Structure 1
Amino acid sequence: MTAGGHGAGPLLRGGRFVARLLLVWVLVVAALRVLDAVLGGFSMPEWWQPTVCALLFGVLSAVVWPLILRVALPIAVFTLGIGSFLLLGAGVLAISFAVPGVVIADFGTAVVVAVALSALAAVASSLLALDEDELFFRRAARRSRRASAGTGEMPPGVLFLQVDGLGIDTLRRAVRSGDMPTFARLLDDGSHRLIDWHTDWSSQTGASVCGILHGSNDDILGFRWYEKDRDHVMACSNPEDAAEIERRHSDGRGLLAVDGAARGILFTGDAPHVSLTMSALPLLGRAARRRSDAHDGVGAGYYAYFADPANAIRTLVGTLVDIAREIYAAVRQRRADVRPRVNRGGLYPLARAGTTVVVRDVVVSAIIEDMLAGRAAVFADFLGYDEVAHHSGTERFDALAVLRSIDQHIGRLYRATQIAPRRYHIVALSDHGQTQGWAFSDRFGESVEALVGRLCGTPQPDPRRGSHSDAGRTGEGWQVGAVLAEASSGGGLIARRLRARVERVGAAPDRPRMPSGAPGAVTRVAPGVVVVASGHVAMVSFTEHPGRVELETIEREFPELLPSLVDHPGIGFMLVRSAEFGPVVLGRDGLHRLASGVVIGDDPLTPYGPHALELVRRVDTFPHCPDIMINSRYDPSRDEASPFEPHVGSHGGMGGPQSRGFVLHPAGLPEPGEIVGAEALHQVLRGWLTHLGHPDPRATEAPLRRAAT
């Protein structure tokens, strides 16, 4: 994608801009006359007063308001734009004092006038295309003329646009069905090509984005995982943990290190310009002062968006509409008894609107500003589809509706690249896909945490049990109980072998135990037992033993744990470490010894694809690999699996579409071949930047900077 020509076009667009601005002014004058007639406490008795007030309100919105917002930005941010109308109301009240004869009875009336005028401006701007795109077009033309007078042409910039959680199979269906017309056009006209890539075992945003941006995701086991040496659960959604993860993996030469921008993602990729980025949040008070652009922090994206009062109206209206859509979709699912489904009440409708409307619009606004600034590479995450698919399903109507909206905004950015002051390419990609299935706790009557706790001798109330629909449990619960009872009494080949080993070995020398007097803040499902669930993987750690606990020790201390887990109908395979055989993958009907390659019975990794073996071997080398690493059971015939979290569409492990992401790239870039793992995808993206003429920070002697120190 290249920039378009510049000639008479900017002048014509400038003329249209002035004409539309005058039309909006006339509409605001008419609106003030209507408000004068219908709104009590508001009076404009003279004919000229609405005209003057409309002009002053335009100046307030376009000039004064952005200056005020630099000081009052927190009010707009923490109220999602709603609080800004209080400030605008104060401005309208000030206008009434400045124009003789205008009467506004009280502050509440001033706020109503401000909301009404902003709403009218937002509607008129949308209908007349008088929004930030129009401003972008005009400003871009001017900057392009200045850039053309420079020393030489810059290499094309790249927008890396991540559609979070969108697997390639769902993408292809959405293109075929017309739900993603922008993607369809890019493929139909031959400008772009679509390829797939295979994620790591941990098919989730933390591992994928860290690997994509930094070229390393070593020791990232899930979206959350337990570190025994610190007695701490790491969570990618925790700002301090995200900063620590980036500190461990950044060498200062990330994908965005050279004049890059990170917008709405987990990690910075060593970008000097960041906003809405999780790992940067702890740096605002200290390391942000060491950044090259101190103002371009988390609030910058919000400032660029809320600087226009009409955007606050769009945010409010869009949020309310999306909340209504979510409530309608949830009611529709319950009435039709759609399964699988999860609880979608509480604060979730608000959280959904935050990702599908507010953050999306702020991120798009920030990307446009990045293009105006001519930044070399921008990486942004569109999170809305992933959030809705978790609660609705991967290909249900409301998830596809979110995809349509994301596609529309990517189309808007594509049009912007045509007239940007610098040529830009668009590379769209996903960090993983999603595999659909009935949540483990709903399908089997207890969560994986409660299951492990019970098998370790500590029955306990399960907070997840009964949290969702009870309809299926009254008819099927007894059957599930029968299945579990059968599994624990005998079961498959590997369960029988494990029980035989326990009976044959008996007592054996124990390993040194860690002090158990201070369990720390991490919840134990049984004394000395921690379970962490992350999508389709669950991790079990025995905290009273240092380091990796061998299979033989687990058999001796909890003789029923491994046989019962391996025979459970919701568990596909488990990775454990044996003192005798090294790393071993256990499944219901077979095992695979990774060190020797010996397979007994059916290879438990076969249903998980040709890359499963190498990916499991890699995780076995991670310093914080848990004592038992569990992957959910994948059913190829139905293309589904039961996640260990209360989701419908989910990811985080192996099995089905969750492991298959996509990359949509310009046809002129080199074909990468097969891509396995996020680190390999990083090399591909880095190679494309180099191919386009971007400097490679890896060629420098010292790191440019570290993400956190």
Structure 2
Amino acid sequence: MTGEDRGRLLRGGRLIARLILVWVLVAVALHLLDLGLEDFAMSAWWQPTVFAVLYGVLIAVVWPLILRVALPVAVFTLGLGSFVLLGAGLIAISFAVPGVMIANLRTAMVVVLVVSAVGAVVSSMLALDEDELFFRRAARRLRRGEGRDVEGPPGVLLLQIDGLGHDTVRRAVRDGDLPTLARWLAEGSHVLTDWHCDWSSQTGASVCGLLHGSNDDILGFRWYEKDRDHVMACANPADAAEIERRHSDGRGLLAGGGAARGGLFTGDATHASLTMSAVPLLTPASPRRAGNRSAEGYYAYFANPANLVRTIGAALVDVLREIVAAARQRRAGVHPRVRRGGFYPFARAGTTVIARDLVVSAIIGDMLAGRPVVYADFLGYDEVAHHTGIERFDALAVIRSIDQQIGRLHRAAQLAPRRYELVVLSDHGVTQGWAFTDRFGESIETLVGRLCGAPSKPDGRTKAKPVNNWQFGAAMASASGAGPIARALRARAARLESGPERHRAPGGEPGAVARVAPGVVVVVSGHVAMVSFTEHPGRVELETIEREFPDLLPALVDHPGVGFVLVRTARGPMVLSRDGARRLDDDTVSGVDPLACYGPHAADLIRRTDGFAHCPDLVINSRYSPATDDASPFEPHVGSHGGLGGGQSRGFLLYPAGLPDPGEIVGAEALHHVVRGWLTGLGHLEPERTDREVSEQAGHR
């Protein structure tokens, strides 16, 4: 007998022992339920044993067949519909066993939940991974001829850890919070490097650039388009679909049979699930998504109710963990911090546990199907970092859980019908700081509105002000106009006052977008705030802003929470700060360079943004302090991103050592070309654009 035969027998023996143990424990659980539930009865000693066998047949044989039809119900109810269907199946079994009584569907669902929990607990106690068993069964089917090895180049998994910056990765590898990635680096199988994000260091710009090779005119996670009087939001399905429509040429990284799981855009994938841009397109009338099944890849997950029980159990634990962590922060007086109550603990569990498990299950299905390129986004760390901070204990716990899932995917890849290369990356980093509203007593929207003449009113997003807030107000009043740039702007405004009569376009009726003052829209995206003056078409120049709102720019550049402001002048784009100005057409600097602490690529990235079709009239970046490595985001976050300054601008890229060195990577479009080059080098052919797609894209732009 060979070693392989002995291993097969040993694994088979373990599986039989497990099945017997589960059978016995389920029978015991049924007996206890008989004693504890009024609407569930088994009158004879042998009935729990027989009923457990029939339930096992239901799960192993009948349920997978039912799921082929009922899978959408399971997916769209996050698995809760599975318990309803299994409860109905349990009632049917009760009619087949004489003397068994289940009075109603509610009782049947309780029985299903308890029995599934028993299976989940047994698997955990015995350290048995249901996925591993599934992988092995799939591999055996392939060896028996039910499937075959996929011909062609090795597949590629692009696994994105949302928001995890390069510096945090390095420390997490050092400190043992990323053991899987640390092992790969220690073994020399992978290489870690960084890449520099665009000015808009957020998921929308980064992922669209990575997957589609273009992120032109994506100004933030949200931005205002003056010609449409519409705020675009990457998290809105219709807007995400429109963004992809503008940028896709049909040749995205995932075209030609790839899969997109859990992100914003499809990358022209044939298979997509939990993907924002695909939500409104999953209809027969959508030719580009014809045949797409949003629930594919979840079959293995919902085929075993124990998976759902484990996920729900882990989600409840995460809810409790969040409540405890928030209370711990409050007791310790940790700052900065934000409110973490209400529905947030459940929303957190949705990203850190439920969405994560669904995405992992879908990726496993993709690998077993041999799909060429798979992209997935793990959102949990970014969500927690927003609320708790970038390297606090509960954020690091999320990193460890994601690393564990990456390890499982690496093991699953060994049993796939083709070889897979694993690339792990992030879309941006995160910079920590005290939220602008909490630190300065009013939001950036309220500040701009007040400076533009809006009547003063309480800011609904502002917490109770600190007792000593009057000191800050006094300091602001005494410092008003103290900076050299503010003094120059005020002098220019004074000259305009003494010249011809100031003119403002007549006020119009506000559209669907809220105005912070008549004719003024402010949209925030992390560390960036965008101001548009809706009564003027196109870009409004500095001279017009000075004439209509003489207090606005001087107060902004002098504000301690504002790092710099981009504005268009008659001579071209200019960046202003408290102590200096920089013209972007020739990089002439007056005073102190306002971009000195924002990295060597800041000027080029801002220049590119200034050329976007929907670039707002003013773009405000929060002030970054290199000494303390912090900045105050314009959204109520602890860890945030979306602009320049600190870790938010540096994502990480961990790639197989056999792939070419990418060199310096600046911008998500450059990252796309790096990954495209790797795919080409591995033997993946780049899809050709059809005539229809060429004409469609030309029309969109």
Q: Deviation of residue 59 (structure 1)?
A: 2.1
Q: Which moved more, 1:499-508 or 1:232-241?
A: 499-508
Percentage of identical aligned residues: 69
AA at the equivalent of 1:137: R
AA at the equivalent of 1:517: G
Alignment partner, residue 135 of structure 2: 136
Q: Deviation of residue 414 (structure 1)?
A: 0.8
Structure 1 residue aligned with 2:318, among 303, 322, 329?
322
2:392 & 2:95 partners in 1: Cα distance?
A: 54
Q: Deviation of residue 703 (structure 1)?
A: 5.0
Which digits, 9 at most, give the CA deviation of each residue in 1:114-136, with x for residues without a partner? 11101101112333425132111
Alignment partner, residue 645 of structure 2: 655
Quick one: structure 1 residues 130 and 27, their matched pair in 2 at CA, closer, same or farther if it must change by over 3 Å?
farther
Q: Does 1:444 align with 2:440?
A: yes
SS in 2 for 1:474: coil
| Superposed counterparts of 1:273-422, under 5 Å | 273-288=271-286, 290-291=288-289, 293-294=291-292, 296-297=293-294, 299-422=295-418
Provide runs of 4+ in structure 1 moved above 6 Å. Answer: 5-8, 147-150, 509-512, 699-702, 704-709
Q: Does 1:480 align with 2:472?
A: yes
Q: Contact 2:250–2:689 at 8 Å: present in 1 too? A: no
Q: Contact 1:75–1:83 at 8 Å: present in 2 too? A: yes
Which digits, 9 at most, give the CA deviation of each residue in 1:461-518, with x for residues without a partner? 3444433xx4xx3333112212322343x210100111111122344698995x7433
1:140 & 1:102 partners in 2: Cα distance?
A: 39
Quick one: structure 1 residues 23 and 380, their matched pair in 2 at CA, closer, same or farther if it must change by over 3 Å?
same
Which digits, 9 at most, give the CA deviation of each residue in 1:672-708, with x for residues without a partner? 1000000000001111111111112258887599899
| Superposed counterparts of 1:458-607, under 5 Å | 458-467=454-463, 470=464, 473-488=465-480, 490-506=481-497, 507=499, 513=505, 516-579=507-570, 581-607=571-597
Q: Contact 2:282–2:289 at 8 Å: present in 1 too? A: no
Which digits, 9 at most, give the CA deviation of each residue in 1:258-308, with x for residues without a partner? 2110000000000000000000001122455653533x22x3355542232
SS in 1 for 2:655: strand
| Superposed counterparts of 1:55-134, under 5 Å | 55-73=53-71, 75-128=73-126, 129-134=128-133
Gaps of 5+ in 1: none
Quick one: structure 1 residues 691 and 381, their matched pair in 2 at CA, closer, same or farther if it must change by over 3 Å?
same
Q: Contact 1:81–1:316 at 8 Å: present in 2 too? A: no
1:684 & 1:531 partners in 2: Cα distance?
A: 35
1:301 & 1:480 partners in 2: Cα distance?
A: 55
Quick one: structure 1 residues 695 and 10, their matched pair in 2 at CA, closer, same or farther if it must change by over 3 Å?
farther
Structure 1 residue aligned with 2:685, among 661, 673, 695?
695
1:29 & 1:204 partners in 2: Cα distance?
A: 52
Quick one: structure 1 residues 374 and 7, their matched pair in 2 at CA, closer, same or farther if it must change by over 3 Å?
farther
Q: Deviation of residue 548 (structure 1)?
A: 0.1
AA at the equivalent of 2:633: P
Alignment partner, residue 217 of structure 1: 215
SS in 1 for 2:597: helix
Q: Deviation of residue 155 (structure 1)?
A: 1.0
1:508 & 1:676 partners in 2: Cα distance?
A: 46
Q: Does 1:207 align with 2:210?
A: no
1:64 & 1:36 partners in 2: Cα distance?
A: 25
Quick one: structure 1 residues 6 and 596, their matched pair in 2 at CA, closer, same or farther if it must change by over 3 Å?
farther
SS in 1 for 2:374: strand
Alignment partner, residue 633 of structure 1: 623
Q: Deviation of residue 567 (structure 1)?
A: 0.3
Q: Deviation of residue 367 (structure 1)?
A: 0.2
Q: Deviation of residue 355 (structure 1)?
A: 0.3
AA at the equivalent of 1:585: V
2:696 & 2:640 partners in 1: Cα distance?
A: 32
Q: Contact 1:591–1:599 at 8 Å: present in 2 too? A: yes
Q: Deviation of residue 33 (structure 1)?
A: 2.8
1:421 & 1:11 partners in 2: Cα distance?
A: 23
Alignment partner, residue 164 of structure 1: 162
Aligned residues: 695
AA at the equivalent of 2:118: L
Q: Which moved more, 1:337-346 or 1:311-320?
A: 311-320
Which digits, 9 at most, give the CA deviation of each residue in 1:566-600, with x for residues without a partner? 00000000100001x21000010000011122110
SS in 2 for 1:608: coil
Q: Contact 1:201–1:616 at 8 Å: present in 2 too? A: yes
AA at the equivalent of 2:307: N
2:468 & 2:504 partners in 1: Cα distance?
A: 44
Q: Contact 2:148–2:417 at 8 Å: present in 1 too? A: no
Quick one: structure 1 residues 458 and 414, their matched pair in 2 at CA, closer, same or farther if it must change by over 3 Å?
same
Quick one: structure 1 residues 678 and 8, their matched pair in 2 at CA, closer, same or farther if it must change by over 3 Å?
farther
1:611 & 1:119 partners in 2: Cα distance?
A: 54
1:288 & 1:310 partners in 2: Cα distance?
A: 36
Q: Which moved more, 1:607-616 or 1:51-60?
A: 51-60
Q: Contact 2:558–2:578 at 8 Å: present in 1 too? A: yes
SS in 1 for 2:619: strand
Alignment partner, residue 646 of structure 1: 636
SS in 2 for 1:491: coil
Q: Which moved more, 1:419-428 or 1:240-249?
A: 419-428
Q: Which moved more, 1:280-289 or 1:394-403?
A: 280-289
1:7 & 1:501 partners in 2: Cα distance?
A: 87
Q: Contact 2:297–2:364 at 8 Å: present in 1 too? A: no
Q: Which moved more, 1:167-176 or 1:95-104?
A: 95-104
Which digits, 9 at most, give the CA deviation of each residue in 1:427-468, with x for residues without a partner? 00000000000000000000000000000011343444433x
Q: Deviation of residue 83 (structure 1)?
A: 4.1
SS in 2 for 1:115: helix
Quick one: structure 1 residues 409 and 377, their matched pair in 2 at CA, closer, same or farther if it must change by over 3 Å?
same
- TM-score (ref. length: structure 2): 0.94
Q: Which moved more, 1:445-454 or 1:316-325?
A: 316-325
Quick one: structure 1 residues 509 and 503, their matched pair in 2 at CA, closer, same or farther if it must change by over 3 Å?
closer
Quick one: structure 1 residues 287 and 434, their matched pair in 2 at CA, closer, same or farther if it must change by over 3 Å?
farther
Structure 2 residue aligned with 1:23, among 21, 24, 38?
21
Q: Deviation of residue 319 (structure 1)?
A: 1.6
Q: Which moved more, 1:85-94 or 1:621-630?
A: 85-94
Q: Contact 1:6–1:141 at 8 Å: present in 2 too? A: no
Q: Contact 1:450–1:459 at 8 Å: present in 2 too? A: no
1:314 & 1:495 partners in 2: Cα distance?
A: 59
